[in-house]
Amino acid sequence: MIMRRSLLAAALLLSAGAAVPATAALDAGAFIANLGNEALAVLGPQTSPEQRAVAFRALFRRDFDVPQIARFVLGPYWRVATPEQQREFMRLFENYIALAYSTRLSQFSGERLLVTGWQPIPGGAIVSSEARRPGGGPPIRIDWRLTRYDGTYKINDVVVDGVSMAITERSEFASVIQRTGGNVQGLIAMLRAKTAGAAGD
Partner 1 sequence: MPDRSLIRRPARRAAPALLLVGSLLLSACAASRQAESAGSFYDPLEHLNRRIFAFNQKVDRHVILPVAKAYNRALPQPARNSIRDFMRNLDSPIIFANDALQAHFRDAGQTFARFALNSTLGIAGFVDLAGRWGIPYHDDDFGVTLGVWGVAPGPYLVVPVIGPSDPRDLAGNVVDGYADPWNYTASDQGYVWAPFVRGAISGIDTRARYIKALSDLERTSLDYYAAIRALYLQRRAALIRHERTLPPNPTLTRRENPAPATAVLFTARNGSEVSP
Binding residues among 54-93 for partner 1 as defined by CB under 8 A: 73, 75
Candidate ranges 57-65, 80-88, 149-157, 184-192; the one touching partner 1 (CB under 8 A): 184-192
Does 188 help bind partner 1 (rule: CB under 8 A)? no
For the chain, the 3-state helix, strand and coil shares in percent, each to the nearest 5, are 55, 20, 20
Does 160 help bind partner 1 (rule: CB under 8 A)? yes
Encoded one letter per residue, x for contact with partner 1 by CB under 8 A and - for no contact, window 91-130 reads --------xx--xxxxxxxxxxxxxxxxxx-----xxx-x
What's the closest the beta carbon of residue 78 comes to partner 1, in angstroms?
Answer: 12
What's the closest the beta carbon of residue 14 comes to partner 1, in angstroms?
Answer: 14
What's the closest the beta carbon of residue 201 comes to partner 1, in angstroms?
Answer: 19
Closest CA to 105 of 59, 154, 61, 170: 59
**CB-based contacts of 143-148 (< 8 A; 24+ apart in sequence):** 144/28, 144/32, 146/28, 146/31, 147/65, 147/68, 147/123, 148/23, 148/26, 148/123, 148/124
Distance between CA atoms of 170 and 179, rounded to whole angstroms? 14
With CB under 8 A as the contact rule, the residue among 50, 176, 183, 185 that binds partner 1 is: 176
Nearer of residues 83 and 107 to partner 1, judged by Cβ: 107
